[in-house]
Amino acid sequence: MKIVMLGAPGAGKGTQAKMIAEKYTIPHISTGDIFRANIKEGTPLGLEAKSYMDQGKLVPDELTVKILLDRVAKDDCRNGYVLDGFPRTIPQANVLKEALEKQNDKIDYAINVDVPDENIVRRMSGRRACVTCGATYHIEHVPPKKEGICDKCGSELILRDDDKPETVLNRLKIYHDQTQPLIDFYSNEGILKEVDGTIDVKDVFENITKILG
């Protein structure tokens, strides 16, 4: 069972990917994690990726897919995997598709966690983080006992720049420009499944498990 997770930043696709990985005993694969592991281990692919990153350049799609294929060739991926954060663009999806086809392989499901932009802005702008210990809260869903103060260490809670409405709207614009077309791509492939991401996390997961069986 090979799955690609789709959804805007803040839609909760990472949370769902972890829950899928746990239930079906398959690895949750984030490209960021793979890059970090390869760089830390000093692998040839990692060193090549690092040379781009050190210059502030994006790692080319072909190299990203090489690193990804190297990861999914490992034994723990025999029964499948969940890809989180890749592909992000149509060129990446095409490179991945072609590389898997060469191995007589393919993605089985592309699951889109659908959440309207206004919900995401509200969800993310309600987040608060502790400046000292890094604990996170949400003013609606997981509020601290005392407003603006961390329960764990008593330090101040802040709204991170990443979670400010103007930043979130900018990230959503990039998502719609680059990643939204993937929904059409996987729809044309006949493997797109959509779930409502505005409901409770457990209910979203239940709907995903009904799709996966």
Domains of the chain: 2-115+179-212 (3.40.50.300)
Distance CA 67, CA 89 (A): 17
| Confidence check: pLDDT of 85 > 90 | no
- 189 pLDDT band (50/70/90 cuts)? very high
Given 2, 13, 66, 71, the catalytic residue:
13
Whether 13 sits among the annotated catalytic residues: the reply is yes
Given 23, 74, 152, 160, the catalytic residue:
160
| Confidence check: pLDDT of 148 > 90 | yes
- 21 pLDDT band (50/70/90 cuts)? very high
Whether 128 sits among the annotated catalytic residues: the reply is no
Contact 108, 3 (CB under 8 A): yes
Place of tokens 């699951």: 111
Whether 123 sits among the annotated catalytic residues: the reply is no
Distance CA 204, CA 199 (A): 6
Whether 160 sits among the annotated catalytic residues: the reply is yes
Provide the whole-model pTM. 0.83
Average pLDDT over residues 190-212: 96
